Amino acid sequence: MSKITNCLIKKDTSCIPVWFMRQAGRYLPEFREIRSKNPNFIKLCLNSDLSSEITLQPLDRFDLDAAIIFSDILMVPYGLGQTVEFIKGKGPKLSKFNMKVFLENKEDNFTKKLNPVYQAITKTRKKLSREKSLISFIGAPWTLIVYMMGLRQDKKKINLENIKKDFKRDVVLEKLNKFLCLHIKNQMNAGADVVQIFDSWAGIIPDNEINDYCFTPNKKLVDYCKEINLPVVCFPKGIGVNYKKFLEIVKPHGINIDYDIDPKWAKDNLKNVCLQGGMDPKILFEDEKKINLEVDKYLDNFRNTPYIFNLGHGLLPETNPDILAKIINRVKSYK
């Protein structure tokens, strides 16, 4: 059992494992070299050899406790028939959502379309030490809906009434859950030993809708992960004090806190769970003294608590790899 799975399942506090969201990505010059030759992001994710190589790049540099497969949460909409493009400087663009096409999707076709992702996981697992976890991931249903239906106009709020007349919520959520569970199982069968569920847009759900769009869909996925004995970490970014209610209802093995959550509040209020992350990625742009103080704040706060060191969001492209190496060393040497 890896340090990550030990922390998640057994709530081990004997060490603090460390990995980073987006650790395989744009801050690494070796990744930028590959990316410059492969401008189509979806095709890059579907190139199992390159995807595996990118996944392992940060582990060749750093003493990390996990690899996270190089892929994207939008591979699921792609597998379900939507065209997905990544526009430089603007982010992802999906073709118009078609309910008929969405509902007609078959499991075999979905698995076939995403088979290169699973091949990349298998290839990575063969090259990865058994002491290291291989993390797979999915987007939570709500976050995928935001992208699939083009709702991402306002980062702070959303008016669900505008789409409800055209949106069969329960039908869409049930269908998405079915394919997300399939994607989880396929990734586990390929060699992943942990899954992280990203609900990146949970913070814009109105309070009166959060149970239906966040808590309940995440719980169904977590329950499935428990059925197949796969450790699961949830990241309902931006929900503030609702983290507590989320944990009470969803009950994942681990929960990643975002950088708006006070770590002391998290320790006092989020019980019987492995905590992960929290630190603001922008702190890595500060001077070394300030970075060390912030790292120590999280390490000291979560001493004797099941905790995986990570961030409150993914690594930013401007991050200096040398700074990351120093942070990892500091976490590893913490007593």
- Coil/strand/helix, residue 198: strand
CA–centroid distance for 149 within its chain = 21
What is the number of alpha carbons within 13 Å of residue 335 lying toward its C-beta? Answer: 0
Which residue is catalytic, options 27, 65, 72, 125? 72
Q: Please report, as a single letter, which amino acid is at residue 4.
A: I
The answer to whether residue 32 is catalytic is no
Pick the closest to residue 127 from 56, 61, 63 (CA basis): 56
The answer to whether residue 118 is catalytic is no
CA dist 250 and 234 (Å) reads: 9
HEC states along 76-110? HHHHCCCCEEEECCCEEEECCCCHHHHHCCCHHHH
The answer to whether residue 26 is catalytic is yes
CA dist 217 and 177 (Å) reads: 7
Quick one: CA dihedral 141, 145, 147, 151, positive or negative?
Answer: negative
CA dist 176 and 298 (Å) reads: 36
Which residue is catalytic, options 147, 224, 243, 298? 147
Q: Please report, as a single letter, which amino acid is at residue 20.
A: F
CA dist 228 and 23 (Å) reads: 27
Question: Would you call 250 exposed, middle or buried from its count of C-beta atoms within 10 A (0-12, 13-18, 19+)?
Answer: buried
Catalytic (active-site) positions: 22, 26, 35, 72, 147
